[in-house]
Structure 1
């Protein structure tokens, strides 16, 4: 009997398959390897001794982590996609498409026509490890996550290309009381969307479809959502029982034709070569030179502590602080002297409210009957939900809570950095007020969950893993990279013989470098001042704290209650309220407390917010997910001017006004990108020619899904991705011609050195033409400029000659377009002037919301401007600020129209009182990397606050609200100091 052995060493699992001469499976195994590949492989091969010893054997390796083992052992290696394809063609020849999800790999293999495979390259979002992280976030096992998903009633939009984005989407939903069933299904739907849009990238997924890999083998809810989204019939979706073994199965089939035969003893000698660690490369400087040095370090940080008292039998006045964070919940109860009577720190486990109620019951039961709670304040992501449920006396924005606590330990604090589970908050203190708030926007590789993920992958509890790094002799130099790339670096280090201690220390150093150089963007440690306070559970890791001090070259203050600082600051804030009695729920009310949550889609306006309606005893309600006050109060808003809303309503009114011509050429204009301002030119232009102008509908998720399968790039900005759906919508509406010009130049406005459009805005029609099936419609995409009237008329005469439009008619139409565009610009300036005047008259603070024309789209900005209005700001746009009359002297080449408007607005902001600027930046916008630094520099020179908000297709108003409330608190504190 001859056997064929296929070994698939994936990023997280090890799979083995043994085939007999008839290609029948006689052995298979599948298990996680926790980065201990060689140890586990040796163990499994020992189990196979009885089956394989003395028999002819052919072997092949496959998988993302197998190439190194192949090089060390000399055993044949087969690329995993080729291996899987061999198995598919042998067992399921009718299949046209294969979708495979692994631990950190995701693939689509197209077998119909020209064979092609597409695989994730830079991110593990939408894979098994992503699902593992999301299950841990909800506090459930994978099988429970799957069971929950099958009972879902609603799907929330969740990012999947990165666990960081997904966590920031899911955590606010958890904190707002969303049902776990709905969250589980939303996570699976995110994986489906990522696979289709991120990997297929425009190529149709044709049935029959074969689904492979562990996640698709174990998770029935995930498979069901794939079938629903791809509209597959029962016979068009194949889920084989051996789905998770297919790469190993294909490797075994490949081995049969490789011609390299051996026996069991020879194979074990080969594998023994791989089990010997390679020579270790030189590492970084150790964190501590000796245990004596560590002892002195620990003693110094022990001194930064808050006084403690006893809760048992306490009968005085207490003040409660609650910090409902992204992954953990913290409580601190203090007395009138600031002594900590009780504290608690734990994971949310998907139920922050339950955690707080349990701890409050414990406080009431332990304290004396005469204890009186005089104040209770809550902070963190769950502030409004927890505060509303328990009737807390005040909510306090995170930055204020953390600064209040930091000031307790060092009244002269100059810089505060808080590193939590997935969030990093840094803020400078100037003249006793928070001056500059910095948050990690797109990556958690500098946060606690980053370290915890690696500890878990290596089979360690986080506490034990952290201690390993204290006395590492050669910490691994891992740099500052995302978790996916870092995973590869860690595996390489293990291959070279790095110890767990070296990896632990290297990761701690990496966290610090990421915080300093990617988030804070420090050029010199002096920028942070001399009084630095560090907070957050991650800094309880002495390795991280030591790495931070060594990198800065100075000592910092880490309170012993570092993980409780948000709750402690909230408690101090509650004490400062000066109340006699708190309104928080009593012990008796807690015993009868009930809570229900139901999803709802608001129909109050075109935003159609996905709401979670929480109901508490007495009929009290808390509504989460709303972008304005209408679902709560029934009112549209506070009546403050909002130029973003004005611009959107005006362009929507223009788009939805029927053309005068009842017949004639049907010309479609997609309502996206630069059409949000050039529609004022193009619609009158074509209507003057007697055309029926059709404008695509307002952006919505259904519009996006109309075209998302034709998007060829996962990294292009979301506003560009939307254009595919808008073009498809125009075809559905019956447009004969879709007019979408390539415009290198915008209108010349005299504020810059040139007037370029960004490359995506200028040339995206080329992408549409190359990736969409226009089904016989004509895509008219001339290269034109609107700054030269005569040239424009000649160019459009050439373009429209086939439709019988002559030069005279085009000239008249052009004049109509130019007149309309000028009228719109002047009306916008006038509206901006009026808004600023009203703000001065009413005393309202002003926010200049600076972005690009398409940022007024509610699907893109997620109603951020409504949130600003609800906080009491007058909102004006960067293009409603009149030109200052002179060109700014800048450190960059000012050649982009949209940039020039931002620089002009920033300069205007510096000349106005009670005004701040918030810049909207779309993820994937490369050239906004130029604007952010320059706008910030202009505002800094004018002693104005700068806030940047990064936006994508996913709604994350929780983090946005923290930023805006921090900005408002800083502005108010500056006002107090002036008085």
Structure 2
């Protein structure tokens, strides 16, 4: 038998193994290929010429990037799942499941009976590429990230759907003083959650599980998170010694069936094969000549503040600090906006240390000649920096950027700011911010998007950006998310595109994301006539040029584009007209100290993950809290209809009007049960059942049912139902009742009265995917409450068949249930009127929060209602005001009960000068892509601001705070205009 060679060419690495006749491993190699797949494989094979020269060998290639190489070289190929299965069956034959993580691939293979494999799609979230991105974000190597994770004290919830989502969760934790050790472990936990929830798709992981692939081979912290999460012992968690090369070993085993060839012939095939090239989709160049670029540069360089020499200037100065998501910026200005000093640098996950160092530098340069009269801070780290250094003012980013833009272009009517992860766009009307658009959970149109690729290709971002300026054939890469585009970039490289072509293409991708996905503009006129662009990303001339080309008009980019937030903050500090700043002085900075420790607040059911920052002199700042309780203050007691509704519904348990003699009926407290619980509670208790509600939603409850969730893209409220029904099974109720309801109550204001498909049919999905439901009696009949007479008839038959309840008794209970539901709705309306009256008596603004009934759940909204009332708003919900408007035609098909309420609430808010509206939407809700546009249209046509808060299973409220504070600042600016 010949020696067998297995070559596994993955998305980021090449693995080569040699097996002898007894399947013993003679050689193994694991190397990164940096997109040079054929060259890397050839280099490794050449390195073992001494071992194989003159011999006939059997060779097979496998791996996600191996097929192209195999076809081009004429070498046999085996699909990687079969290769992995062959190795597992040979070396660990009693395996029940395999979890394999690669560079951009993640797989779970179930053994036993037929082979079943689950694999990630086109997103590389939860893979080695994701871990690489996170290490880069934290400015550590992957090995250092692993070492840090082993010293963690707590785990933060972090999204791992893709790298840019996770950055949105990680950056605020780091900026607010969170420990790197805890964040490192949380990153690995996110990978585990993504693998378990995204790939098991409802099938339970149990028995002996083998862990394969580079990340699981090299990273002990990642192993630890998998073992703890899946509750595995040493016999059931297997980490093979050569787990990083198992697919290559499987390929070698599969080579047994092929004909041997001389080793030199294999080398020649690989050396002679030219990778298949295809036509690359290209775009026109950004600049056709140096002269065109010079004219472009001269036009934009005209927008610059005067520069003042800090070494000779004497007089007052004002400081602005922008503690952004990935960078820290500072600007020290004179009264006329002249620049004395600027700073722009990555915050390296520790903005406090950066600002401390910079303040010491500034004081040393100022000497006794310059007195800082005011200091203001903006950005993600605003609260932390303001508290750490006693700044005079903290202001929301939107207002800081408007101040800066108006300084250079007084007639500005549209501002777009693209930073590291955030994109802020706002229209200006009559000297005030009129509407605000921010990117959602994805930052694919932002600076981190292009920085990721620059680093992956071995460039710093400045050099990488310049490469594309004169590319004659920019690659059309579309406008997708970062990890999706990894494969597009690699394919373009294989097709012969140069780094210059890719750089130019990525610049255009950023612009298309901004215009068509965040702003969603139909034409340049949708933006405005006087557009100011700012943010560090627009320092990239390629991005700026692509933006002007896409819009077909010139825009203004100040030379200080990257520090406009800090510059605007400095202008705001100047406008305070203080005689003296509270900013820490030289002596105080010498004594300055800062430590941060994690904590979990137990003062309410939110269980906020806190970071307690301690400074010298006993000063303290707590971040991560959604209310003022952890600060020792009483929470806001302003009227809050979301909290009132939730507390009222949670109180509905027990026997009510009955005696409980017919048994205990479990009702999962989720989705449409928030709307219909008063009805069902009254019905069952009148029929002498005892109603048992599932527990309050929590992260722990979600994790209880996580393994049974078949879809990673369904909304978080639906995912929670799996934990709710499992908790009811554990409670030992006699039956669980959760009906399928295609129709909701008909309120007469819409074209139809459907429930959304998820809400309508989720009981069917639970029945099919939650094994524990087979241990109990799970009742999920199809019912419709929109036709009382039909329901009376159907319910009386169903209750007679299921429980032998006389039909007359059921009819009587149904009438009582409808009356109870009507009383509940009237109570909410009366409570809403009471709250509005109180708000007006006290002169407080009123915020209508419009969403689904289940958005009142604290685990789903993450305490957004507490945050809103902490800013001084009285909170009412859409159902407290929607009834005040009649049916009206809409631009969209208005066939959903909940949406019709939101439309009517928005119409009503437009008639009330002291009301504004925020729409809550669940991430992953397709229907809300339509309702959001319609709500925006109603509100903006009525002269109101539109604010949307998109919520999922991640509880960090950094972006939510920006939106609410931007809304408040815009309201205030309108009052003054």
Q: Could you state the TM-score of these two structures normalised by the residue count of structure 1? A: 0.98
SS at match of 1:234: coil
1:115 maps onto 2:115 in alignment: yes
Once the two structures are TM-superposed, the CA of residue 787 in structure 1 deviates from its matched residue by 2.4
Give 1:811 shift. 1.3
Deviations 1:787-824 (A, max 9, x none): 22332222223322232211111112112211111111
Partner of 1:293: 292
Closer, same or farther: CA 601–312 of 1 in aligned 2, 3 Å: same
User: Which residue in the other structure is 1:922 paired with?
Assistant: 922
In 2, Cα distance between the equivalents of 1:723 and 1:518? Answer: 31
SS of corresponding position for 1:847: strand
Instruction: Provide the rounded CA distance (Å) in 1 between the counterparts of 2:888 and 2:466.
Output: 53
1:559-602 superposed Cα distances (whole Å, 9 cap, x missing partner): 11111111111111111111111111111111111122222222
Q: Secondary structure at the match of 2:883?
A: coil
Equivalent in the alignment of 1:539: 538
Give yes or no for contact 1:72–1:273 (8 Å, CA) kept in 2: no
* Whole-Å separation in 1 of the counterparts to 2:838 and 2:273: 75
**8 Å Cα contact 1:888/1:903 also seen in 2:** no
Q: Which residue of 1 aligns with 2:65?
A: 65
> Which deviates more from structure 2 when the two are superposed, residues 724-733 or residues 454-463?
454-463
Q: Aligned partners of 1:54 and 1:108: how far apart in 2? A: 39
Mapping of residues 169-318 of structure 1, within 5 Å: 169-257=169-257, 259-275=258-274, 278=277, 280-281=279-280, 283-312=282-311, 314-318=313-317
| Distance (whole Å) between structure 1 residues aligned to residue 36 and residue 477 of structure 2 | 19
Instruction: Note the alpha carbon deviations across 1:50-94, whole angstroms, 9 max, x for none.
Output: 332211122211111112212222211111111111111111112
Conserved in 1, the CA contact under 8 Å of 2:744 and 2:753? yes
Q: Work out the CA distance in 1 between the residues paired with 2:340 and 2:305.
A: 11
Which stretch shifts more, 234-243 or 485-494? 485-494
**Aligned equivalent of 2:731:** 733
Q: Residue 885 of structure 1: CA displacement?
A: 4.6
Q: Distance in 2 between matches of 1:137 and 1:660?
A: 59
Give the alignment of 1:310-709 within 5 angstroms: 310-312=309-311, 314-637=313-636, 639-655=637-653, 661=659, 663-709=661-707
Question: Match of 1:717?
Answer: 715
Tell me, yes or no, if structure 1 residue 815 matches structure 2 residue 800.
Answer: no
C-alpha offsets along residues 806-845 of structure 1, whole Å, 9 cap, x if unaligned? 1111112112211111111001001111222222222211
Aligned equivalents of 1:758 and 1:319: distance in 2? 54
Judged with a 3 Å threshold, the aligned counterparts in structure 2 of structure 1 residues 659 and 668 are, in CA distance, closer, same or farther, namely farther
Counterpart-to-counterpart distance in 1, 2:358 and 2:712: 44
Q: Provide closer, same or farther for how the CA distance between residues 545 and 657 of structure 1 changes in structure 2, counting only shifts above 3 A.
A: farther
**1:205 Cα deviation from its structure 2 partner:** 0.6
Deviation at 1:20, TM superposition (A): 2.8
Distance 2:872 2:885 in 1: 30
SS of 1:89's partner is helix
- How far did 1:708 drift? 1.0
By how many angstroms is 1:276 displaced?
A: 5.3
Deviation digits for residues 489-508 of structure 1 (CA, Å, limit 9, x no counterpart): 22222222111111111111
Aligned pair in 2 of structure 1 residues 580, 274: CA closer, same or farther (>3 Å)?
Answer: farther
Q: How far 1:532 sits from its partner (Å)? A: 1.1
Task: Return 5+ residue gaps in structure 1 as ranges.
Answer: none
**1:458 positional shift:** 2.0
Residues in 2 aligned to 1:9 and 1:520: alpha-carbon distance in whole angstroms: 40
Instruction: Indicate conservation of the 8 Å contact 2:656/2:685, yes or no.
Output: no
Secondary structure, aligned partner of 2:6: strand
Aligned ranges 1:766-777 → 2 under 5 Å? 766-773=764-771, 774-777=773-776
Q: What is the alpha-carbon distance in structure 1 between the residues aligned to residue 80 and residue 60 of structure 2?
A: 11
Contact in 1 for aligned 2:100/2:106 (Cα 8 Å): yes
Q: Is the 8 A contact 1:313 1:368 kept in 2?
A: no
Checking the alignment, whether the CA contact within 8 Å between 1:659 and 1:693 is kept in structure 2 is no
Instruction: State the Cα deviation string for residues 821-873 of structure 1 (Å, max 9, x = none).
Output: 11110010011112222222222111111000000001001111111111111
In 2 relative to 1, CA 723–277 (structure 1 residues): closer, same or farther, beyond 3 Å? closer
8 A contact 1:39–1:275 mirrored in 2: no
Measured after TM superposition, the shift of residue 36 of structure 1 is: 2.4
Q: Is the 8 A contact 1:707 1:724 kept in 2?
A: yes
Who is 2:938 aligned against? 938
Q: Residue 748 of structure 2 corresponds to which residue in structure 1?
A: 750
Tell me the residue number matched to 2:842: 842
**How far off is 1:28 after superposition?**
1.9
Structure 2 unaligned regions, length at least 5: none
Q: Which digits, 9 at most, give the CA deviation of each residue in 1:429-449, with x for residues without a partner? A: 111111111111132221111
Matched residue SS, 1:235: coil
The 1-side partners of 2:184 and 2:60 are apart by 38
Deviations 1:208-228 (A, max 9, x none): 111111111111111111111
Question: Which whole-Å deviations, capped at 9, do the CAs of 1:181-238 have from their partners, x for residues lacking one?
Answer: 1111111111111111111121111121111111111111111111111110111111
| Secondary structure of the structure 2 residue equivalent to 1:883 | helix
Say whether 1:764 aligns with 2:757: no
Mapped to 2, the partners of 1:386 and 1:535 lie a distance apart of 23
Once superposed, what is the RMSD of the aligned Cα atoms? 1.6
CA distance in 1, matches of 2:355, 2:110: 51
Find the counterpart in structure 2 of residue 830 from structure 1: 830
Q: Is the 8 A contact 1:914 1:971 kept in 2?
A: no
CA contact (8 A) 1:62 1:247 kept: yes
Match of 2:958 in 1: 958
1:633 positional shift? 4.0
Q: Is the 8 A contact 1:419 1:537 kept in 2?
A: yes
Q: How many angstroms does 1:663 deviate by?
A: 4.3
Q: Is the alpha carbon distance of 1:47 and 1:658 closer, same or farther for their aligned partners in structure 2, counting shifts above 3 Å?
A: farther
Give the equivalent residue in structure 2 for 1:100.
Answer: 100
Residue 660 to residue 592, structure 1, CA distance change in 2 (3 Å): farther
Distance 2:44 2:311 in 1: 55
Q: Return the alpha-carbon distance in structure 2 between the equivalents of residues 33 and 331 of structure 1.
A: 40
1:866 corresponds in structure 2 to: 866
State the alpha-carbon separation in 1 of the partners of residues 657 and 724 from structure 2. 19
For the 8 Å contact 1:844–1:873, the answer to whether it is kept is yes
- Distance in 1 of aligned mates of 2:733 and 2:364: 70
Secondary structure of the equivalent of 1:784? coil
